[in-house]
Structures are given as structure tokens and as C-alpha cells.
Amino acid sequence: MSKNWATEPREGQRWTGNVVPDPYRVRVIRGRTVTTIELSGDLDLGAQETIERALRDALAEPAALRLLVDARDVTYVDTIATHASFVKAREAAHAAGMSFHVLPSATVRRALEVTGLDDVLQEP
């Protein structure tokens, strides 16, 4: 089962025709042993609330043993937003008895290394 979130037009912004800007996408996929939060696109401060909503959804029924954030398709990250979201995700996963890992893009890897969260990195 999966649930998707994507950006919506912001106030004063109009989307015309078939051109829809999609700066980021968040999807939760529940598996038997792994619950995955897939992230893609540009993750700025505006994405933080959506990521945290996905985290709450992923942990609503913590049947899996592991929470994995697949961030291989992330092209931009706001370091502050990433740090806050991933710290919350790690703490919530551990509180639910789950391990927590991140499959990073090069951009996410650098942000996690700079913020001291590189212990959650997992190589693909």
C-alpha cells in the first residue's frame, strides 16, 4: 500500500495547460519488514511539513522492522529542513522499535554529513 503527496500551487501561483511544476514528491510504501518513504525533487523548508506528515503516516502502524528513507532522487535539500526532518524520523523510528536508514543522493549525503547525521546513511 502506498500514499502520495506532491506540491500544490502556492498562493499567487497559477499552473497553466499541462505544465505543472513539481518541486518535490513524497510517497510512503508499506512492506512486511520495511516501510519506505520515497523522496524526490527539491526539498526546501516548504517540504518539511509534508515529509513529517508522511513520517506520521509511516509510523501510524509500525508493523515493519525498518524505516527506510529513499532519497536517491532528491536534487536539492535545505540543510536545516533535512536535519530537522531526519532527526525526527530517526527518533520516531527508534521509539517504535524500528531501525532507521537513508539511501541518499549525493546532495542528501553531503547535507547529512554536514549536519552530523551520516550515521543513518546506507549504501544502495
Fill in the DSSP letter of residue 121.
B
Q: What pLDDT is recorded for position 15?
A: 40
- Tens-place pLDDT, residues 65-81: 999 999 999 999 888 87
Does residue 7 have a pLDDT over 50?
no
More confident residue, 66 or 117: 66
Does residue 95 have a pLDDT over 70?
yes
- Tens-place pLDDT, residues 37-55: 999 998 888 888 888 888 8
Confidence band for 64, pLDDT divided at 50, 70 and 90: confident
Type of residue numbered 10: R
Domains identified in the chain and CATH numbers: 31-120 (3.30.750.24)
More confident residue, 83 or 110: 110
Q: Which three cell numbers stand for residue 6?
A: 506532491
Alpha helices in the chain (DSSP H): 48-59, 79-95, 106-114
Angle, nearest 10°, between helix axes 48-59 and 79-95? 10
More confident residue, 13 or 64: 64
- The pTM of the full predicted model, rounded to 2 decimals, is 0.79
